[in-house]
Homo-oligomer: A and B are copies of this chain.
Amino acid sequence: MSSVAEMTSPLGRELVLTRLMDVPREKIYRCWTEPELLKQWFAPRPFTTPVAELDVRPGGATYIVMRSPEGQDMPMRGVYLEVVPNERLVFTDAFTRAWEPSEKPFFTGILTLAEEAGRTRYTARARHWTREDCEAHEKMGFHEGWGQCAEQLATLAAAL
């Protein structure tokens, strides 16, 4: 993990986290798409991820549960919008499954993995429907949380 850049988009509804990881992108992609791997890095420790159901295809559903140190569960449902193995994943919480609108469309996530001088440029974007939700996400600790998870992910991927 040798480069850090964090920003908010000019439009004010996107948060971006990017890292240069010294791991082949295939291993990073596996950590995002294999449930038993995702469970090991997806929540910022000491939070955990006891449940991860991932139907990795466009229109496929995700069901992920994060658990706080106090034992409180945070279930999250979503749908993949785009799947390009080893390169790109797009998912959203606007649907709970194809195509059931959720109670609250909060954000769409875009993960891109690109080769860069033998390493992997890891970019995770969160695009929100409202500026208010974007600001709330940032205040919830987007950069710290997703940044910590990216480190957990890079460590796990490097060990595969």
Contact = CB atoms under 8 A, between A and B. Distances in A.
A127 interface: yes
A158 B107 CA distance: 42
Interface residues of A, number: 23
A11 to B, nearest CB: 9
B105 A110 contact: no
Interface stretch (A28-36, A64-72, A95-103, A142-150): A95-103
A95 B127 CA distance: 11
Contacts of A107: 101
Given A58-B58, A59-B81, A81-B59, A99 B90 contact: yes
Nearest to A110: B99
